[in-house]
Amino acid sequence: MRLLLIEDDVQIAESLGRALRRAGDVVDIYGTARDAEQALRAVDYALVILDLGLPDRDGGTLLRAMRAQDNHTPVLVVTARDELNDRVRLLDLGADDYLVKPFEMVELQARIRAVARRAIAKSGGDIGVGGLRFDLAERRAYAGDVPLELSPRELGVLEMLLLRRGRVVSKAQIQEHLCDWDEALTDGAIELYVHRLRKKLEGTEVELRTVRGFGYLLQHPQG
């Protein structure tokens, strides 16, 4: 998933970012509400992790503005405020969940998965083609009932192909899906991930085609 982490404490932000990336997520990090708003206009995020104590504006004000602008990206609020009235206010503003500091990384990751599951359920569930299924919340791919052993980057490629199943996906689109703004992938690296993914999809009911000059296409051979 591509996540937006809005946290002004550099040490906390870097620590959380490293842990989330190790789990296979792509993470953009910003420390002000202004920068976060610009990022939200430019990128379609799967989930926002929002700290309330921002230097230029209260995180609750940013959350209210998101919902007023019809931005329904799931938001997990991270806060040091543990009063009942504060929690109720956050939920009324449109937060999908909240986590009180200090917290353990495993709990943050569990809450991210839970919020993602609820968002996916609202949109119609998992994605798939033929007998291939991708559990977006748990970040697992299955051929029938058998889990596929894929690296985080291979999962990211498969996710993009399934989100645009039946349509050609360019290398540029895959790169944007896999990388945050501080990272880049060469065409050769993308070709390598696609090659490895194609090998692991052998024996399933889908085929991963190369459309020369355009990109890649995931499809069921029988349509």
Give the domain ranges of the chain.
Answer: 2-123, 127-219
Structure tokens at 108: 């943050």
pLDDT band at residue 12 under the 50/70/90 scheme: very high
pLDDT tens digits for 168-180? Answer: 899 988 887 777 6
CATH topology of domain 127-219: Arc Repressor Mutant, subunit A (1.10.10)
The candidate with the shortest Cα–Cα distance to 36, out of 52, 16, 21, is 52
Residue 140 burial (10 A CB sphere; 0-12, 13-18, 19+): middle
Q: Note the pLDDT of residue 67.
A: 94
Length of the chain: 223
pLDDT at res. 182: 59
183 is written with which tokens? Answer: 């990272």
- The residues, any chain, with a CB within 8 Å of residue 127's CB and separated by 6 or more, are 133, 134, 136, 159, 162, 163, 165
Looking at the chain, the whole-number percentage of residues with pLDDT higher than 70 is 94
In the CATH scheme, what is the homologous superfamily, with its name and number, of domain 2-123? Response regulator (3.40.50.2300)
* pLDDT tier for residue 101 given thresholds of 50, 70 and 90: confident
220 CA to centre of own chain: 25
Q: What is the reported pLDDT for 179?
A: 74
Residue 84 has pLDDT above 90, yes or no: no
